[in-house]
Chains A and B, each alone.
Chain A
Amino acid sequence: MTLLSDPRGTMPMRSGIGEADYGTPKSTSDVMVSVTIDGETHVVPEGTSVMRAAGEAGCDIPKLCATDSLQPFGSCRMCIVEIDGRRGTPASCTTPVEDGMVVRTQTAKVAKLRKNVMELYISDHPLDCLTCSANGDCELQDMAGVAGLREVRYGMDGKNHLDAPTDASNPYFSFDESKCIVCNRCVRACDEVQGTLALTIEGRGFNSKVSPGGLNFLSSECVSCGACVQACPTATLQEKSVIDLGMPTRTVQTTCAYCGVGCSFNAELRGDELVRMVPTKTGGANEGHSCVKGRFAWGYASHSDRITKPMLREKITDEWREVTWDEAIQYTATKLKEIQAKYGDNSIGGITSSRCTNEEIFVVQKMIRAAFGNNNVDTCARVCHSPTGYGLSTTFGTSAGTQDFKSVAKTDVIVVIGANPTDAHPVFASRMKRRIREGANLIVIDPRKIDLVESAHIKADHHLQLQPGTNVAVINAIAHVIATEGLIDEEFVAERCDPGPFNRWRKFIELPENSPEVVEAQSGVPAETIRQAARLYAAGNNAAIYYGLGVTEHSQGSTMVMGMANLAMATGNIGRDGVGVNPLRGQNNVQGACDMGSFPHELSGYRHVSDNAVREQFEMLWDVKLMSDPGMRIPNMFDNAISGEFRGLFVHGEDIAQSDPNTKHVEHALTSMDLVVVQDLFLNETSKFAHVFLPGTSFLEKDGTFTNAERRINRVRPVMAAKNGKQEWQIICELSQAMGYEMHYDNAAQIMDEIAEITPTFKGVSFAMLDEVGSVQWPCNDAAPSGTPIMHVDGFVRGQGQFMETPFVPTEERSNRKFPLLLTTGRILSQYNVGAQTRRTENVTWHPEDVLEIHEADAAMRGIVDGQKIAVSSRIGETILTAVVSERVPAGVVHTTFHHPMSGANVITTEFSDWATNCPEFKVTAVEIRPADSSDAPTNTLESVLTKA
């Protein structure tokens, strides 16, 4: 593929290799108008700019300040045209086409003007094109050529910006002010695309310059999403990797492996070396946007910590020794079989990874069911979104969010519950913020004052700042108001929902115990605020709920999911654009891991193992007898390990010793087993307890698919050769074969073919299909060959929607005299999950350690000041963190993250879990805090772990 050229070959482009840039956004109007451009007549949607109409007709108009991800600005004067009947030379970017309009893009008059404009630009621009980092990827350079500029009459000796400084403070990109043409694209990208509004134009006239507002980019509000870098038409904002390595020469389109948004990227390479990741405009999830993780934090894949050879050790106190793949596989298989021979078939099991591809996950669960001969397979969704599966399948009939991400653009009332999208799902947050800036109302239900509550041009209409653990009480109170104030959509309910459960729910929800006035005492949220929020949600035309782990990771997580589903059904906010109930999935492939049959009670497509007809299909296809009873969940595995019944565990790409609650308990379980096998990129916390380490592949080496939070199946393509020499599914197949169950595929596409063959919702999916259409949202089958962006349109998957009574049962984890504060845990923008990836990138610049946010009153009461080391203790354990005195948390609540193993946030979280799914209650732990002294040391060092082990 030719670098940086429009596929039509007419004009160089900047925004990603091979992606055309039509200068202004596409019009969505259904009304068509006719325009004649340079003698040819074209029909375009009303509202299309002259620039875009010309570009789509293959007649590109020069431009500098225009790019089709931004609204037209009309400042550079390069895109001027002549229009019959109009005076002067209007800018084509800001001039919409009118029916019958006659446009001339190439006349002597506009050519002269364009050349003059370009001459002025170049008179204040360094003439170092040959050594410039953007050489070959510079729109200014290209436009100078298009304008036919041959000389600069003004010379270079006048007043200029050629000696302006370069800001290299950001670890990933630099800002070379001397090359800036003040086209405003970066400022507008930050405003319109990202929605952070960190950049501005400072000064006036000749002194105008782009400014990040603070001392430099690093100290500014900039979130390093890369939108400004992508928008910049020169080398002013440039990736440091491009400056260091040079321009890429080829591209591979793939999918980000961080959060559940699942952004599409072009991996741009020189030979086999990755130079940069550029978000693709055709990506269904992100449409050209990115965040600091996906755009820049991919260096971990080549980090020197990567383990690329298999390793063994007899005891966890032994040194690791490198072995051949054959020895590692044979050893593992032999040990697993020995354990089963001694302790029974159910004495081993495995955990699948939401960071891996659907194909890898499918073969891991297949290995466990077919080769291990049991259903002891679980996935890390157990500790995040398992209540989503339970709650949404019970009420709606399927375990998935109801909308596509685009749907939020049609939402009038956005409700964010227990989620922090600007940190955890930043690219979706940008969509959401755009809609809020357009006028949508916003309700935030969260103990913390997250950025969405109030930030640049964003202000929540209502912030229900509830006490941790009272979600269900508040959602019931909202429903109570809707039911008792006549706000139920009776027509929708009568038409779409099961009347028996609805009537029972209505009776329950109208009870006085669910009134806002009663709930105020439990939750701390003023009754009137609850009432206003309920009325806003019910009365809005389109109201949508978006939620995260602040909903699920509670002892009533499943109840809360059902409570939200009740609310959507009661108000008819389901089954169309702009509404719905939408889980924001934490890891990149949580949805896929659940879809692929990773839970111990379900085969792929959420079908219970006890369903004889379904099981028989699998048995016939796999030629093996399958168990009809559910296997162990992860906590069951741990508990059974401690009691001696569960002796061998295969951990695929997860770090349970860091991510799961009550670290001491997890470590006890791991040290109780005879064999722990870890397949991962790095020696993580869990590998400290492992006997076998099987090196895995990064997303840049994988071939397969991820499924994001909107059920979108995206291709993951290998950008570079696997550093361990094997795809992970191949390793699993070899282990399965060594255990006596033949499992063979020639490639990952064959695995997807098998998934499609046996999973009704995936029936139409194949690699060939995805390569052709880009991505598809399941269900994708005969009934929906192009996929299903929005679910439950004409009816619920289960037939009729089922209301469920949702009694509020407070957690037993309460603050008390000994532990008077409530700790809640979460994530931060720059880090991801246990940090195994992001800690091995420059993202540590922003978050080098986990900290504890504490309200100033709680800090002052304990003599704690900002930046002080503190000991945080719960009834489970104690850890050391740095205090950050913050207004984001209310008095009585503290917050931390779990991205760093040294701080070990889960040393203090408890054994309590969701009643239905055993999803841990990460969000509520009673703690006390004191200033740390010299005898307090980090609790999770290798030495301390091994001593305890």
Chain B
Amino acid sequence: MDISILTRMAGDIERNLPVHEETYLRISEHLVKFWTPKMRSDFYKHVTSNREDFSETLNKVVDELRAKANA
């Protein structure tokens, strides 16, 4: 899937959730619950390769995804 679609989807989720300290956790839970592993993996790779293009929250999301995958 085109990475721009995943980026837009993640951005939509981030934008529509209330801003709190733990928002990144809600987003990462959402991705685990509703995204296929490949979508998560592609998104993870893209964000970690272009961290400066993404918000602090989405950076924390991919870190959380990695932590979950390693758990």
Cα A807 to Cα B19 in complex, Å, equals 9
Tell me which residues across on chain B come within 8 A of A631, comparing CB atoms: 36
Q: In chain A, residues 609-645, which have Cβ atoms closer than 8 Å to a Cβ of chain B?
A: 610, 629-633, 636, 639-640, 642-643, 645
- Mostly, the B contact residues are helix
Cα A556 to Cα B18 in complex, Å, equals 13
Q: In chain A, residues 554-568, which have Cβ atoms closer than 8 Å to a Cβ of chain B?
A: 555-556, 559
Q: Let me know if B33 and A645 touch, CB within 8 A.
A: no
Tell me which residues across on chain A come within 8 A of B12, comparing CB atoms: 555, 913, 915
Cα A508 to Cα B18 in complex, Å, equals 9
Tell me which residues across on chain B come within 8 A of A805, comparing CB atoms: 18
Q: Let me know if A346 and B2 touch, CB within 8 A.
A: no
Q: Let me know if A639 and B15 touch, CB within 8 A.
A: no
Instruction: With both chains docked as a complex, state the minimum distance between the C-beta of A513 and any C-beta of chain B, in angstroms.
Output: 12
Q: Let me know if A639 and B13 touch, CB within 8 A.
A: no
- In this complex, what residue of A is CB-closest to B1? A639
Q: Let me know if A639 and B33 touch, CB within 8 A.
A: no
- Residue from the set A508, A639, A917 with the largest chain B CB neighbour count within 10 Å: A639
Interface string of A633-664 (1 = CB under 8 A from B): 10010011011010000000000000000000
Q: Let me know if B35 and A630 touch, CB within 8 A.
A: yes
Q: Does A608 belong to the interface (CB within 8 Å)?
A: yes
Instruction: With both chains docked as a complex, state the minimum distance between the C-beta of A350 and any C-beta of chain B, in angstroms.
Output: 15
Q: Let me know if A630 and B36 touch, CB within 8 A.
A: yes
Cα A639 to Cα B34 in complex, Å, equals 16
From the candidates B5, B18, B32, B36, name the one contacting A632 in the complex (CB within 8 A). Answer: B36
Q: Let me know if B5 and A639 touch, CB within 8 A.
A: yes
Q: Let me know if A807 and B1 touch, CB within 8 A.
A: no
Tell me which residues across on chain A come within 8 A of B37, comparing CB atoms: 629
Tell me which residues across on chain B come within 8 A of A559, comparing CB atoms: 16
Q: Does B30 belong to the interface (CB within 8 Å)?
A: yes
Instruction: With both chains docked as a complex, state the minimum distance between the C-beta of A669 and any C-beta of chain B, in angstroms.
Output: 11
Tell me which residues across on chain A come within 8 A of B15, comparing CB atoms: 809, 915
Cα A632 to Cα B17 in complex, Å, equals 23
Interface string of B7-31 (1 = CB under 8 A from A): 0010011011110000000000010
Tell me which residues across on chain A come within 8 A of B39, comparing CB atoms: 636
Cα A916 to Cα B12 in complex, Å, equals 8
Q: Let me know if B1 and A636 touch, CB within 8 A.
A: yes
Cα A643 to Cα B1 in complex, Å, equals 6
From the candidates B1, B16, B34, name the one contacting A601 in the complex (CB within 8 A). Answer: B34
Q: Let me know if A807 and B18 touch, CB within 8 A.
A: yes
Cα A600 to Cα B18 in complex, Å, equals 26
Q: Let me know if B36 and A915 touch, CB within 8 A.
A: no
Tell me which residues across on chain A come within 8 A of B9, comparing CB atoms: 915, 918
Tell me which residues across on chain A come within 8 A of B38, comparing CB atoms: 346, 645
From the candidates A608, A640, A916, name the one contacting B1 in the complex (CB within 8 A). Answer: A640
From the candidates B13, B16, B34, name the one contacting A630 in the complex (CB within 8 A). Answer: B34
From the candidates B18, B33, B35, B36, name the one contacting A608 in the complex (CB within 8 A). Answer: B33
Cα A915 to Cα B16 in complex, Å, equals 7
Cα A642 to Cα B2 in complex, Å, equals 9
Q: Let me know if A916 and B35 touch, CB within 8 A.
A: no
Q: Let me know if A630 and B33 touch, CB within 8 A.
A: yes
Q: Let me know if A916 and B36 touch, CB within 8 A.
A: no
Q: Let me know if A556 and B16 touch, CB within 8 A.
A: yes
Cα A608 to Cα B32 in complex, Å, equals 11
Q: Kindly state the interface size class of chain B when it binds its partner.
A: 10 to 19
Q: Let me know if B33 and A809 touch, CB within 8 A.
A: no
Q: Let me know if A807 and B16 touch, CB within 8 A.
A: yes
Cα A556 to Cα B34 in complex, Å, equals 17
Tell me which residues across on chain A come within 8 A of B18, comparing CB atoms: 508, 805, 807
Tell me which residues across on chain B come within 8 A of A508, comparing CB atoms: 18
From the candidates B2, B5, B13, B32, name the one contacting A916 in the complex (CB within 8 A). Answer: B13
Tell me which residues across on chain A come within 8 A of B5, comparing CB atoms: 639
Q: In chain A, residues 805-834, which have Cβ atoms closer than 8 Å to a Cβ of chain B?
A: 805, 807, 809
Q: Let me know if A601 and B33 touch, CB within 8 A.
A: yes
Cα A639 to Cα B9 in complex, Å, equals 12
Q: Let me know if B36 and A346 touch, CB within 8 A.
A: yes
Instruction: With both chains docked as a complex, state the minimum distance between the C-beta of A630 and any C-beta of chain B, in angstroms.
Output: 6
Cα A559 to Cα B18 in complex, Å, equals 11
Instruction: With both chains docked as a complex, state the minimum distance between the C-beta of B15 and any C-beta of chain A, in angstroms.
Output: 5
- Residue from the set B16, B18, B32 with the largest chain A CB neighbour count within 10 Å: B16
Tell me which residues across on chain A come within 8 A of B36, comparing CB atoms: 346, 600, 629-632, 636
Instruction: With both chains docked as a complex, state the minimum distance between the C-beta of A661 and any C-beta of chain B, in angstroms.
Output: 14
Q: Let me know if A809 and B1 touch, CB within 8 A.
A: no
Cα A944 to Cα B1 in complex, Å, equals 27
Q: Let me know if B33 and A916 touch, CB within 8 A.
A: no
Interface string of A358-379 (1 = CB under 8 A from B): 0000000000000000000000
Cα A629 to Cα B1 in complex, Å, equals 17
Instruction: With both chains docked as a complex, state the minimum distance between the C-beta of B38 and any C-beta of chain A, in angstroms.
Output: 7
Q: Let me know if A809 and B34 touch, CB within 8 A.
A: no
- In this complex, what residue of B is CB-closest to A374? B36
- In this complex, what residue of B is CB-closest to A631? B36
Q: Let me know if B1 and A645 touch, CB within 8 A.
A: yes
Tell me which residues across on chain B come within 8 A of A346, comparing CB atoms: 36, 38
Cα A636 to Cα B36 in complex, Å, equals 9
Cα A677 to Cα B9 in complex, Å, equals 29
Instruction: With both chains docked as a complex, state the minimum distance between the C-beta of A444 and any C-beta of chain B, in angstroms.
Output: 26
From the candidates B2, B13, B30, B35, name the one contacting A643 in the complex (CB within 8 A). Answer: B2
Tell me which residues across on chain B come within 8 A of A556, comparing CB atoms: 16
Cα A610 to Cα B38 in complex, Å, equals 16
Interface string of A553-585 (1 = CB under 8 A from B): 001100100000000000000000000000000
- In this complex, what residue of A is CB-closest to B35? A630
Tell me which residues across on chain A come within 8 A of B33, comparing CB atoms: 601, 608, 610, 630
Instruction: With both chains docked as a complex, state the minimum distance between the C-beta of B37 and any C-beta of chain A, in angstroms.
Output: 5
Interface string of B28-71 (1 = CB under 8 A from A): 00101111111100000000000000000000000000000000
- In this complex, what residue of A is CB-closest to B10? A915
Cα A610 to Cα B29 in complex, Å, equals 12
- In this complex, what residue of A is CB-closest to B16? A915
Cα A642 to Cα B5 in complex, Å, equals 12
Cα A524 to Cα B60 in complex, Å, equals 38
- In this complex, what residue of A is CB-closest to B33? A601
Tell me which residues across on chain A come within 8 A of B34, comparing CB atoms: 601, 630, 633, 916-917
Tell me which residues across on chain B come within 8 A of A636, comparing CB atoms: 1, 36, 39
Instruction: With both chains docked as a complex, state the minimum distance between the C-beta of A217 and any C-beta of chain B, in angstroms.
Output: 49
Cα A809 to Cα B38 in complex, Å, equals 28
Instruction: With both chains docked as a complex, state the minimum distance between the C-beta of A660 and any C-beta of chain B, in angstroms.
Output: 15
Tell me which residues across on chain A come within 8 A of B2, comparing CB atoms: 639, 642-643
Tell me which residues across on chain A come within 8 A of B1, comparing CB atoms: 636, 639-640, 643, 645
Cα A555 to Cα B37 in complex, Å, equals 24
Tell me which residues across on chain B come within 8 A of A630, comparing CB atoms: 33-36
6 shortest interchain CB distances as A-B pairs: A915-B12, A805-B18, A915-B16, A639-B1, A629-B37, A809-B16
Q: List 27 A-B contacts (CB under 8 A).
A: A346-B38, A508-B18, A555-B16, A556-B16, A559-B16, A600-B36, A601-B34, A629-B36, A629-B37, A630-B33, A631-B36, A636-B1, A639-B1, A639-B2, A640-B1, A643-B2, A645-B1, A807-B17, A809-B16, A915-B13, A915-B15, A915-B16, A916-B13, A916-B16, A916-B30, A916-B34, A917-B34
| New A-B pairs, 10, CB < 8 Å, besides A559-B16, A807-B18 | A556-B16, A600-B36, A601-B34, A608-B33, A610-B33, A630-B36, A636-B36, A639-B5, A805-B18, A915-B9
